[in-house]
């Protein structure tokens, strides 16, 4: 658990940088930040250290604290992804994240088909059934559908047994939720996408790596087409 003061300074500063308000090259000083946030040096320093660890800032004696060029940032950092999702770069970040999903999810599905435990296979099958059922009942925009959708992707990524692939679960969940909250999920799910979910689940259950990879790629490609068509 982290405290309010540190957390809020870190979060606010992180957002300002991620959102471009503090452009790369901008120089700050500890004294400035102390005064601005009205907190002690300790708090500011610790926040700066964390942002330094994400390669968003770099501090040098006699110079100050400089905002690093975006190309250096640890873009896979979940916190940074969240900040960018809540910034004006949101649309671009969603596309980038979906491209990452297009890379990761099919491979995770392949691994899941090979390595998932019995419990995980059962869980994936169950969740796919639920998605299908809710879809058939035209409840694709319900809370239950959202929960099942998130759980489905969560198990899928975890079942692959690769913690690095699992690591993008939380940003994915956030995007799915965001899409739902924005009212973009239709009550009547797109037939092909739902079909791919169900087929992917079936393939994982029976251990068919090729099919699992193929069907997952199918639905992520559909999502990618969709998010690319959203204007920035």
Partner DNA sequence: TTGCCATATAGATCACACCATTGGCAAGAA
Partner DNA sequence: TTCTTGCCAATGGTGTGATCTATATGGCAA
Q: Report how far apart, in Å, the C-alpha atoms of 175 and of each of 19, 32, 149, 165 are.
A: 17, 35, 11, 16
93 within 8 A of 84, measured Cβ to Cβ: yes
Please give the helix or strand (H or E) that residue 80 lies within, else none: helix 78-85
Q: Is 218 exposed, middle or buried (0-12, 13-18, 19+ CB in 10 A)?
A: middle
Scanning residues 61 to 90, which ones bind a copy of itself (CB under 8 A)? 61, 70-71, 73-79, 81
Query: In terms of CB distance, is 1 or 182 closer to a copy of itself?
Result: 1
- Rule CB under 8 A: say whether 165 interacts with a copy of itself: yes
Query: In terms of CB distance, is 40 or 74 closer to DNA?
Result: 40
- Rule CB under 8 A: say whether 114 interacts with a copy of itself: no
- Rule CB under 7 A: say whether 1 interacts with DNA: yes
Residue 69 CA to residue 75 CA, distance in Å, equals 12
Residue 50 CA to residue 60 CA, distance in Å, equals 15
Residue 45 CA to residue 195 CA, distance in Å, equals 51
Tally Cβ neighbours within 10 Å of residue 192: 11
- Rule CB under 8 A: say whether 143 interacts with a copy of itself: no
- Rule CB under 8 A: say whether 49 interacts with a copy of itself: yes
Scanning residues 52 to 71, which ones bind DNA (CB under 7 A)? 59-65
- Encode 36-54 in three state secondary structure: HHCCCHHHHHHHHHHHHHC
Residue 223 CA to residue 201 CA, distance in Å, equals 18
- Rule CB under 8 A: say whether 100 interacts with a copy of itself: yes
- Rule CB under 8 A: say whether 219 interacts with a copy of itself: no
16 SS3 class: helix
- Using CB under 7 A as the criterion, what x/- string covers residues 26-45 for binding DNA? --xxxx------xxxxxx-x
- Binder of residue 28, out of a copy of itself, DNA, none (CB less than 5 to 8 A by kind): DNA
- Rule CB under 8 A: say whether 91 interacts with a copy of itself: no
- Rule CB under 7 A: say whether 12 interacts with DNA: no
CB under 8 Å to 229, separation ≥6 — which residues?
none
- Rule CB under 7 A: say whether 50 interacts with DNA: no
User: C-beta of 20: minimal distance to DNA in Å?
Assistant: 21
Judged by the rule CB under 8 A, the positions of this chain that interact with a copy of itself are 1-2, 6, 42, 45-46, 49-50, 52-54, 58-61, 70-71, 73-79, 81, 96-97, 99-100, 102-104, 106-108, 111, 160, 162-168
Judged by the rule CB under 7 A, the positions of this chain that interact with DNA are 1-6, 28-31, 38-43, 45-46, 48, 59-65
């Amino acid at each position: 658990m982290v405290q309010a003061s540190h957390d809020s300074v870190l979060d606010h500063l992180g957002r300002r940088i991620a959102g471009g308000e503090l452009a790369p090259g901008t120089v700050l000083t500890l004294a400035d930040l102390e005064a601005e946030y009205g907190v002690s040096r300790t708090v500011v320093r610790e926040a700066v250290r964390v942002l330094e660890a994400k390669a968003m800032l770099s501090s040098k004696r006699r110079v100050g604290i400089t905002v690093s060029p975006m190309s250096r940032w640890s873009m896979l950092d979940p916190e940074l992804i969240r900040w960018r999702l809540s910034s004006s770069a949101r649309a671009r970040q969603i596309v980038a994240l979906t491209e990452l999903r297009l890379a990761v999810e099919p491979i995770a599905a392949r691994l899941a088909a090979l390595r998932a435990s019995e419990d995980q296979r059962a869980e994936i099958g169950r969740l796919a059934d639920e998605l299908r059922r809710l879809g058939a009942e035209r409840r694709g925009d319900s809370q239950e559908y959202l929960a099942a959708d998130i759980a489905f992707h969560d198990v899928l990524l975890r079942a692959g047994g690769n913690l690095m692939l699992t690591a993008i679960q939380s940003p994915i969940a956030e995007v799915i939720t965001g899409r739902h909250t924005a009212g973009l999920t239709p009550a009547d799910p797109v037939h092909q996408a739902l079909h791919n979910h169900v087929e992917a689940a079936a393939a994982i259950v029976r251990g068919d790596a090729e099919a699992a990879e193929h069907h997952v790629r199918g639905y992520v490609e559909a999502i990618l087409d969709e998010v690319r068509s959203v204007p920035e």
